[in-house]
Amino acid sequence: MSGSRARVAVGLVLGVVLLTGCGSEESSDGAASSTGGSSDRELRLPDGIGDLQLYEGACAALEGDAQQRCTEAAAGATRAVDAAADNLSAAYDDASAAGGYYVDEDFERMVQVFAVAAASPGLWTTDSEAAAERQQLGHPMEWVEESDGAQCVVRNQRPVPQGEELDPEEVVVLRCQQAGDDLTVTVVPGGDATPEDALAWTGEAFDALAG
């Protein structure tokens, strides 16, 4: 592994430690576990989606102290998503839920994936073409992108003046979702994820869980 990749991995590890230090107790099954509730369905997240893999598995590619720090940070991340999955379960009347952290092989992207054994309404935003027109903008600040049943709420980081074109480089993905009769998958991507990538991850995770 190159020195630059090791530095990226260590930096990511330290960031996750800070973000996950207050998580709940880690479950025995890690990211693949389901939260008990009124639903008997077990939700097991896939080991990988697209070019991403579960954080714990990605640590195996590191060596020495870097691997140890990565493993510890992955455990903290698992505790955090387990706690979030508990919240998700509670919001859906104790339906089974699961959560996991995914990273790419260079540890440059971190994506949270959640699933709950329940249906959900589609995503929406308060923004609209009418709101953009009222604000004299050439494009809404937020909108919903869709592809093959997956949806993402995206936001433009810079207001587009009337008469100007939207710059795709300024668009960030806030969260994504795909829902069926008894399953909802939510994806919270990292900062530089494109809508196309995020939609693909959401669809792949949903298909894996829907089986």
**pTM (2 d.p.):** 0.81
* Mean pLDDT value of segment 144-155: 97
Identify whether the C-beta of residue 17 lies closer than 8 Å to the C-beta of residue 71: no
Distance of CA 168 to the CA centre of its chain: 20
* Local confidence band at 137 (pLDDT 50, 70, 90 cut-offs): very high
- The strand pair at 150-156 and 142-147 is best described as antiparallel
Q: Which amino acid is at 207?
A: D
Residues in contact with 191: Cβ distance below 8 Å, sequence separation at least 6, in sequence order: 172
In tens, the pLDDT along 6-54 reads: 444 434 443 443 333 333 333 334 444 333 334 678 899 999 999 999 9
Which of 121-124's residues contact partners 24+ apart within 8 Å by CB, and which partners? 121/179, 122/151, 122/177, 122/179, 123/151, 123/152, 123/153, 123/175, 123/176, 123/177
Report the percentage of the chain scoring pLDDT > 70: 82
In tens, the pLDDT along 75-124 reads: 999 999 999 999 999 999 999 999 999 999 989 999 999 999 999 999 99
pLDDT of residue 39: 61
Of 93-102, 171-180, 190-199, the poorest mean pLDDT is in: 190-199
